[in-house]
Structure 1
Amino acid sequence: MNWEDSPEEAAFRREVRAFIGEHFPADYVPDHDDEHSMEPEDVWGYNWPVDRVSDDPARRDGARKWAKALADKGWITPHWPTEYGGAGLSALLEFVLQEEMMRARVPTVNGIGAFLLGPTLLAHGTDEQKAEHLPRIARGEATWAQGFSEPGAGSDLASLRTRAVRDGDDYVVTGQKVWTSLGQYADWLFVLVRTDPEAPKHKGITFLVLDAKTEGVTVRPITDIRGSAPFAEIFLDEVRVPVANRVGEENKGWYVAMDALSFERAGIGACVKMEQALADLVTYLRSEEGKRFVRADRGALRHEIARRYTEIRVAYNLARYTVSVQAGGGVPGYEASVNQMYGAELLQRLARTGASAFGPFSQLWQRDGAPLHATYAHLRADAVAATFLGGTTEIQRNVIATRGLGLPRK
């Protein structure tokens, strides 16, 4: 396939580069020591949902200035219609925008709200829901978190037990969600609840949105193996949610959720992040300081690095293929699972290669004095969760087998 830019794409790429150079706040600098999230598309040193509420005035103001600059262009939600604050860009131009932002190492804005919840509302939401929520997402004024996984119902999502009982114009919701990425920083939540406990498990589920400050909602951060808290567990104790906050029909939320998950990104951000991490590793190993720490069998290490480089190029082509499906009017199905699985396993291989490059020095955790500031020691711990974030590799393989290869479920 020929992935060269068309004249339109090349011109837009130049526009994006110029915009970043002119508008990204000079005092909004990366903080490589502060780790908040394990998401592979995050830019190292930044975490916009966290930065926007930081206690550091420079960091907080920088995050908000950057959001406003992007919002003025419609580039927080570039693929959305202009009436809701988007830019009406094609899927290919949105891909170029995201790629250039990642290559410039500047953060994207509004994460899950922009690329997952927003498109879901565009497809299934009422006019009132769109008018209330979409402009605020597009302006960077409200952040969202996804309440799907539960204790005992992560990969088997349809086994969720959070209960919602209709009471007049409200649902009364009781249950628990877990592994909610950045849930402690979210203004709003979208959750799956069981409204018909007698129905088959993939039915009787309803999709709701709710204000995170609603009475009865308790959010508790979860500390990971690195000592940071990139996600949270959420307790819902008789929380009253208006029926008007239901997205789609009652008991048909499973189908809304599956559409929502199909809006996952093509994966270009993860590709660029891994490409940059590998380039930083090679540059460091060639430096005088790097030569002091590198392991003895450099020949084998060179082969490992070459394999990782080749695999990253494969991941890039998978991302380009996925966006080409979108550009052709399709909705990525099993392609998204291929990207998720391949990218997650590649991230783990890259982390192991980078850490093992330093032999026993790969055990150093404190950044000062460690090789490459212990980047790969931290990345190795970070990557442990990659193969179950967003769906385990076992689930992704099932999707690829049944939807992509047409194999029977049994």
Structure 2
Amino acid sequence: MAASGSPGSIRRICICAGPAATPSCWAVRPGTASATCSRSERVVIDEEVRREVREWLAANWSPGIDRAEWAHTVVDAGWAVPSWEPEWYGRGLTDTGSRIVAEEFAAVGAPGAGHDRANLFACTLHDCGTDEQKRRLIPPSIRGETKWCLLYSEPGAGSDLAGLRTRADRDGDDWVINGQKVWTSFATTADYGMLVARTDWDVPKHKGISFFMFPMRQPGVEIRPIHQITGESEFNEVFIENARVPADNMVGEPGAGWSVLQVALGYERRFMGDLARTSKNAKRPKPEKGGGLVQLARDFGRLGDAHVRQQIARVDALVAVNRWNRERSKTAVDRDESATLAALGKIAMSRILHETARVETEIIGAEAMLAGPDNPVGDAVTFRTLNAYFTSIGGGTDQIQRNIIGERILGLPKEPEPYRNTPFRDLPH
């Protein structure tokens, strides 16, 4: 085992398998070095990663640094998404190495690594985009300069997303888009939307869909906020009339958008497995990690109640199982294996949020009905109770996730599809 490195890049520890073998470095995706390392060698590798990132942070990070400048520095150094290949703004670290990077950044309060930057838009482009698209769109995305939204669901195509009717017609170097999307988060601030639209009406519904990186700030795009029960307007309707998207912004081939969409949905479900939201007035730590519920019960004199302790333990068990499944899912994605396990994390987070809201309400009692800045605890619980059930819908309903788990993980028979090979325009509507 030998160390090697180059200026501006992390030192690599290489393991040679025989005199004629090419050295494989720890800074490679899982399945290479990690597969050939002994446990003691992996410990040395992990320590080397931690030492290198600590040294880099000590030399570069300052709490007063300009955040835009810092984002550029982190991306240029490959720390923003360290599991990606060096040629695509990463360092080729394994999942364990990436977690170490995120831990060290968090320890000094430095933003810019892990989920701060590895958003589902950049990840989808990384996996499915052309080299030109990656060079053009990934850097501003992981630097936080470009904002994105999802243009998937339609009034008549939610659970059956493949039934979408937003159309894209080729016109020279552009595609002309007409249609309506709904439940779009962050549409009012987005620069781009990941858009699925129908480009071929004469093939079965899954085969006529294409995937676009759609510019949002243009004529023909009207955004109408949807008022929610929480008092927010996070979601929007988006009306698109004769808006244009350059042909170079299509991800994948025409008609291959369903495959790209599955990659994007896999990342969305994986990230939703980490989801936790609080009210704007909330002062409490997020209770999805059992300690928050314990502190809440202690503050309200309920920790001595055996029933309350049992309910808290139930939530904590769900969180632990979800954490393990998230790690399984991340490893599968990093190895370019099936992202189906993300469905487990997504449906688990739905249950965690539902159960957390229920237990919080039980702990604080009638105070859960009092919302507002003068009652931050009750306000936070009220918000989470009202908001908890959106995870049962967003990113694919719980019912869809159960179908995925049943068919793709458990191997159960698929539902009948009598119109599987019918051209979309001939389907009954």
Compute the TM-score of the two structures, normalised by the length of structure 1: 0.78
Q: Distance in 2 between matches of 1:397 and 1:132?
A: 37
Deviation, 1:219, is 2.4
Where does residue 130 of structure 2 map in the other structure? 126
Contact 2:74–2:112 under 8 Å retained in 1: no
Give the conservation status (yes or no) of the 8 Å contact 1:16–1:100: yes
Instruction: Note if 1:401 corresponds to 2:413.
Output: no
SS at match of 2:230: coil
The corresponding residue for 1:190 is: 194
Tell me which moved more, 230-239 or 117-126: 117-126
SS of equivalent to 2:155: coil
CA shift for structure 1 position 324: 3.0
Distance 1:118-1:357 versus aligned 2 partners, 3 A rule: same
Query: Which structure is richer in relative contact order (CA contacts within 8 A, separation 6 or more)?
Result: 1
What whole-Å deviation, never above 9, does each CA across 1:124-145 have from its counterpart, x for those lacking one? 3223212211222232221221
Report the equivalent of 1:324. Answer: 331
Distance 1:102 1:232 in 2: 33
Q: What residue is the counterpart of 1:115 in the other structure?
A: 119
The structure-2 alpha-carbon separation of the partners of 1:131 and 1:182, relative to structure 1 and needing over 3 Å to count, comes to same
Aligned residue in 2 for 1:38: none
Tell me if the contact between 2:274 and 2:349 (Cα under 8 Å) persists in the aligned partners: no
Q: Does 1:286 align with 2:286?
A: no
- 1:16, 1:308 → 2: CA distance? 34
**Deviation readout 1:185-214 (Å, 9 max, x if unpaired):** 211112000011232111111111122112
1:356 aligned partner: 362
3-state DSSP of counterpart to 1:325: helix
Q: Secondary structure at the match of 1:362?
A: helix
User: For 1:117, what is the secondary structure of its paired residue?
Assistant: helix
Structure 1 residue 88 and structure 2 residue 95: aligned? Answer: no
Q: 1:215, CA displacement in angstroms?
A: 2.1
The number of equivalent residue pairs is 367
Contact 2:288 2:319 in 1 (8 A): no
Match in the other structure for 1:245: 249
Q: Is 1:380 aligned to 2:392, yes or no?
A: no
**Cα contact 2:368–2:378 (8 A) shared by 1:** no
Of 86-95 and 399-408, more deviation after overlay is shown by 86-95
The residue number in structure 1 matching 2:309 is: 302
Aligned 8 A contact 2:169 2:176 in 1: yes
Aligned residue in 1 for 2:143: 139
| Equivalent-residue separation in structure 2 for 1:147 and 1:88 (angstroms) | 31
Structure 1 residues 13-162: aligned runs within 5 Å: 19=57, 23=61, 25=63, 64=68, 67-68=71-72, 70-98=74-102, 114-162=118-166
Contact 1:125 1:247 survives alignment (8 Å) = yes
CA contact (8 A) 1:266 1:319 kept: no
Q: Secondary structure at the match of 2:188?
A: helix
Amino acid at match of 2:331: S
Contact 1:162–1:193 (Cα < 8 Å) also in 2: yes
Give the fraction of aligned pairs with identical amino acids, expressed as a percent.
Answer: 35
Q: Give the deviation of 1:69 after TM superposition.
A: 5.6
Once the two structures are TM-superposed, the CA of residue 73 in structure 1 deviates from its matched residue by 4.0
CA contact (8 A) 1:74 1:138 kept: no
Gaps of 5+ in 1: 28-60
TM-score normalized by structure 2?
A: 0.75
Bigger Rg over Cα: 2
Question: Where in structure 2 are there 5+ consecutive unaligned residues?
Answer: 1-38, 278-284, 416-429
Cross-structure match for 1:337: 343
Q: Which moved more, 1:187-196 or 1:8-17?
A: 8-17
Which protein has the bigger helix share? 1
What is the alpha-carbon distance in structure 2 between the residues aligned to residue 229 and residue 284 of structure 1? 29
Q: Distance in 2 between matches of 1:314 and 1:230?
A: 30
Kept after mapping to 1: 8 A contact 2:287/2:356: no
Structure-2 residue corresponding to 1:41 = none
Relative distance call for 1:310 and 1:106 in structure 2 (3 A) is farther
Alpha-carbon distance, 1:338 to partner: 1.0
CA contact (8 A) 1:315 1:343 kept: yes
Q: 2 CA distance for matches of 1:358 and 1:398?
A: 36
Look up the equivalent residue of 1:301 and give its one-letter code: V
Superposed CA deviations along residues 109-160 of structure 1, whole A, max 9, x for unmatched, are 8979843232332333223212211222232221221211111211211011
Instruction: Report the alpha carbon displacement of residue 67 of structure 1 after superposing the two structures with TM.
Output: 3.6
Residue by residue, what CA displacement relative to the aligned partner does 1:263-308 show, whole Å, maximum 9, x if unpaired? Answer: 3436673489866653123224324xx33xx59x922111111111
Distance in structure 1 (CA, Å) of the matches to 2:193 and 2:126: 17
1:13 touches 1:96 (CA, 8 Å); kept in 2?
Answer: yes
